[in-house]
Amino acid sequence: MFSPLIEDLIRALRCLPGVGPKSAQRMAMYLLEKDRDAAGLLASSLQQAVEKVGRCSRCRTLTEQEICALCNNTRRDHSLLCVVETPADVLAIEQAGNYHGLYFVLHGHLSPIDGVGPADIGLDVLGERLSEKQSSDEGAEQPKIRELIIATNPTVEGEATAQFIAERARAKGVAVSRIAHGVPIGGELEYIDGGTLAHAFNSRTVL
């Protein structure tokens, strides 16, 4: 129906999450018919990002630098480390604006059935971070990371990953906490699913 180049463009656009055949076709037609300047800018930006963006050697988030701006920021609390599954999770927490520590990005979660083990999500690198020591005021060495905050998703795989990481962090003398999951602000209890309510009750706090 379309020329080979247009068909290739439509197939390429379908790699985006949530984009089906019809959506990809509309995008391709819009870029070619209505806004070729935007198409050129998109192609150029995507090519540069693919060539230059890699992973931070400290936290594994996406960056074009060896060490990302967050890890290099001396004003952040370097004794707090928040573990998340994706770079998008880092953006979400940063936009919330109330966390000022550092991050570690897994790029996934443990899933033995899919062949995803600890090394595949960087837990060897995380172990090295947790093993770093510093001298206390009394002269004794203590973990450089004071608290590990686990913010993996509340899925079966996310919970299993959280437990795996927590056990190994505690073995290194690092305090571990898990972000709470429960009823969203503005939510009504009658519309909340049972699993979310169970999390809310288990994570209740004293008033």
Q: The whole model's pTM is what?
A: 0.85
pLDDT digits 0-9 by tens, 46-84 = 999 999 999 999 999 999 999 999 999 999 999 999 999
State the pLDDT at residue 107: 96
CB distance 108 to 85 below 8 Å: yes
What's the count of helices (H) and strands (E) in the chain, helices before strands? 8, 8
For residues 47 and 198, the model is more confident at 47
Closest CA relative to residue 180, chosen from 200, 155, 152: 200
Average pLDDT, the chain: 91
